[in-house]
A = this chain, B = another copy of it.
C-alpha cells in the first residue's frame, strides 16, 4: 500500500518556499481597514483551539452577543457574528431579506452601494438605485420620493462610505422606511464604535459590520443584527435563502437567539477569531461606547486641523457628512498618489490609502480606527505625509 502511495505522490513535491521562517513586519495600519489589534487581543489569539459547541465557546458566543447588542445599541435577540468578512455581512442581509423578484432600493454613494446592487441582482432581486454624487448624503425627502416611485421591500444604505469618506446621517430614516412598509438595511463596516449609531432608536432593521475596523479584532467575523421586523420577514419567506452558510434562521439557532434550549450545529466557528472578538468587545466595554466615539471624533479633528494647516483639502466639504473614521483628502494637483503611499510605508511603516473605485487617482484616504485613533498616531501620519509631499516635490525638480 505504501508503494502505491509513493508512485502517485511523487507527482508533486513539498514546495520549497514553505521551508522559510514566517517573518512579519509591524506597521501602523491607518488605511480604512483593517486596523492594528491591541496586545490584549493579539495575546488572546494564541490560546489553544476549543470545539465549536464546547461550553467555553458557547459562553464566549453569549458574551459576544451581549457586546454586540451594546455596540449596535439594540435589544434585538437575533444578534451574532457571521463567520465571514464584512462582505459576507452585506450578502447575509440581502440574501435573507430579499426574495427573487422583490424590489430593493439602494442608496449608492460609492463602491459599497454598487457592491450591494451586484449582490442583490445575483439573487434575482429587482434593483433600484438612488445615485448620489460622492460628497453629499441622501436626504429624507430624496429617499421618500424614491420610496414612492419604487415601492421597495427593503432599502440599503451605508453609514460610512469608506471609498469617499462620506457619512450618511441615519436619524429619521427608519421611521420613513417603515411608513412605506419596507425594511432598512445599514452597512456600518467602517463606522461602528467610531461614529454614533443607535439601531433601535433609529429604527434600523438589519445592520452588519466587520471585526477588523474600529472594533479592533482580527478580520474574519462580521457582526450582524436583525430587528423583530426583519426577523418576521425571515420566518415568512416563501423560499429558503439561497445560501445555507448565511441563513440567519439557522445561524440564530446556532447562536441560541430564538430562546431555543439547545444550540443547533450549523458550521464550525473559528475559536481563534471568537477569542479576538470577545477581547476586542471587552476593551470597548471598558472604554465605553461614547468615550470611543469622542476619541475618534477628537483624532479626526486633530488630523483635519493638521491637513488644513498644510493646505490639504477635504474631499467631503460639508462637516456633517465628514466621517471621523475615514478622512478623505483631495489629491493636490500633479501629485502621484502612488509615490505618497509608498513613501509613507517605506520610511514610516505608516499606511495611507489611495482612492478606491470612482475615487481612484483623485483622493488619499486615512483611516483612524480603534487603537489608531489617538493624537500620537495622527501626528505620526502628518509627519509621514509631510515627508512624502516634500519627497514628491523634490523628485520633480
A residues neighboring B (CB under 8 Å): 2, 5-6, 8-9, 11-15, 17-19, 22, 24-27, 29, 31, 33-37, 42-52, 54, 56, 60, 62-63, 66-67, 69-70, 73-75, 83-88, 91, 95, 115, 118-119, 121-123, 196, 198, 200-201, 210, 212, 218-220, 240-246, 265-273, 275-276, 278-279, 281-282, 284-286, 288-290, 293-294, 351, 356
Contacts and interface: CB of A to CB of B under 8 A. Distances in A.
A46 B24 CA distance: 11
22 contacts: A2-B290, A5-B293, A9-B73, A9-B289, A11-B198, A15-B63, A15-B66, A15-B67, A18-B67, A42-B46, A84-B84, A86-B267, A87-B244, A87-B266, A122-B244, A210-B268, A218-B270, A218-B271, A219-B271, A219-B272, A243-B243, A270-B273
Contacts of A356: 265
Contacts of A95: 242-243
* Residue in A49, A118, A200, A269 whose Cβ sees the most chain B Cβ within 10 Å: A49
A116 to B, nearest CB: 9
Contact of A242 (B45, B122, B351): B122
A379 B367 CA distance: 53
Contacts of A49: 29, 34-37, 212, 218-219
Contacts of A351: 51
Where chain A touches its partner, the secondary structure class is: loop
Given A13-B70, A220-B220, A273-B270, A5 B290 contact: yes
